[in-house]
Every structure is written in C-alpha cells, then in structure tokens.
Amino acid sequence: MQDATDPALAQEFVSFAVQAGVLRFGEFKTKAGRLSPYFFNAGLFDDGAKLGRLAEFYARRLLVEGGQRIAFDMIFGPAYKGITLAAALAVELARRGRNVPYAYNRKEAKDHGEGGTLVGAKVAGRVLIVDDVISAGTSVRESIAMITAAGGQPCGVAIALDRQERATEGGQDMPWSAVQYVARDLKLGVAAIATLDDLLQYLRGTADPALAAFAGPVQAYRDRYGV
C-alpha cells in the first residue's frame, strides 16, 4: 500500500530540493523519452549538509510517535544511489535513538575477501529498501531477489519523490505508475517524502514568479502522463 504524504513535511522537502538545486525546471528528456518540465536529480545532494538534511526528511517520514510507519529491522540501499541514502539514513536514525543495521549491494560480485555482492550487516528480518525514486520497479525487484536470497524479508520501500507518472513497458504507456506496481503487485508498502501533487501545490503557492510560471507546464505534464 502507499502511505499518504505528510503535507507540511512534503512542502518543506520540495522547498529544500528547489533551494538545493536538486529539483530543477525547464525542459528535460526522461528515460521514457518524454519531455518533462521538471527534473529531480538526487545525485545533487552532493555535500554533507544537503545529504544530512535529506536523511532527516527520510527519518521524519518513516518515524512516528512511538513507532514507525513501515515496521522494519534494517535498511537496504540498492546500488548506486541507494548506498549513500541507506548509510545517511542509518546515521540519522541512530541520532534519533533508532539504531538499525544497513547493507547494500555491489553491481559486480567480488571474488576475493568476503566475496559476493552484498556488503554491510547480515541481511535478516524485515528489510526496508531506500532509494531516490522508483522509475520502473526493476531496481525494487532486483533488491527483493537479493534480500530474499540472503534470508531477509522485504517489507517496504522509502523514496524521496513519487513522480506519479505512468510506467512504460516496451515503449507503451501503462495505466499504472511504478510506485503503484510496487505497492500492488510486489505487495510492499511505499512511503514517499513528497509527490508530484505536492510539487504542484508548492508551485501554485510560491511567491517567486519565475517558479510559479512552471505550475501550468507541470500540471499539463501531470494531465498527460500522470496516474
């Protein structure tokens, strides 16, 4: 199932992503070949302050008074972006009194030392997958296979932005998004810090006319490709 975003937290996150230059506006070609008026690049959380702040948003999204939105025992970060996100989140959770182990995978298996493709803590119990976005569900399926093979139980996915955009298969638009596919078909809870709807709300409410001008193009993109 998809866990609804926290409106205040989502607006705070979108504002931060815009100020950090991670969320940009203009004309960008997506992997699916669509021309998008916005681009979210989590790789630009590229210094200690921005990465630490991002980890705070993930932690605040996942933790609630007296517990967690998705019950998990450890964190898994799929290579490559997920590695940094999982490590940063583990540090932030520990700072908040919730110390959990984390692991990640290599793209290529190592044939010396400890060997294998998994690095970090032993994969066990309920495992939360942490990534920036879910584009097609491929990374999540691969993570599920690795976690299950190692003896863990995938329990959910935490992402920064749900683009609420129709997935593509074989060049064809599907009637569902990658996030919906993960929640419905893979039976994993999905918690996003913010969604495209939250981004639209931010653009409609901003006092910056240069940013407000993109509310129309982003809404048109949502109408054409959204779910």
Global pTM?
0.93
Domain that includes residue 193, residue range: 2-225
At 96-121, the pLDDT tens digits run 999 999 999 987 765 544 557 899 99
How many domains is the chain partitioned into structurally? 1
At 139-178, the pLDDT tens digits run 899 999 999 999 999 999 999 999 999 988 777 788 899 9
Q: Which residues 6+ apart lie within 8 Å of 30 measured at CB?
A: 36
Region of 103 (left: φ > 0; alpha: ψ -120 to 50; beta: rest) is beta
CATH number at 121 reads: 3.40.50.2020
Active-site residues, by number, are 110, 112
